[in-house]
Amino acid sequence: MARRFVLAQSNLAELRYPLGSPEMEEFEAQLDAVNQLADRSPGFIWRQEFDYGGGDRPTVFGRDDYLFTLSVWADVDSLYDFTYSGQHMEMFRQRSKWFLPDPRPTTVLWWIPKGTLPTVNEAEERFLKIRSSGPSQEAFGFGRRFPPPEG
């Protein structure tokens, strides 16, 4: 049976320093390479591209001081493998240099019909769900996964 659902993913991280500042140079210097790695990773389908340096910064929850990602993957395992390996993992280990700590979930996953794309507004709604009610079929993370609606 063909897969009818794919995985939407969003990350939200509050910047410790403004983009373009000397404190963010190391992070920004690696961003294109890590995005290109994602683009070539098994299971990768799509990512929303933002030109943070050129002013194409998404406003999330009414703020523009977040680094925000939105992508689509074939399944949770593909996304997990990319997230926790290679250059992305190295940057992830250093995240406290560039981002403020947040006790709330900063990653949210949810299933979408194959052939559709998630939106920034949808990601905001999913963050509200996981942060207010915990993991569920509608909004979850790596720690507590839910299968696609088709089973």
Which element (helix H / strand E) includes 108? strand 107-113
State mean pLDDT over 126-135: 98
- Tens digit of pLDDT for each residue in 50-85? 765 556 667 888 888 898 999 999 999 999 999 999
CA geometry: angle 33, 38, 41, nearest 5 deg: 125
pLDDT number for residue 2: 67
CATH node for 5-133: 3.30.70.100
- Tens digit of pLDDT for each residue in 84-95? 998 889 999 999
Domain boundaries, the chain: 5-133
pTM: 0.92
pLDDT number for residue 50: 73
Q: What are phi and psi of 45, to 5 degrees?
A: -120, -50
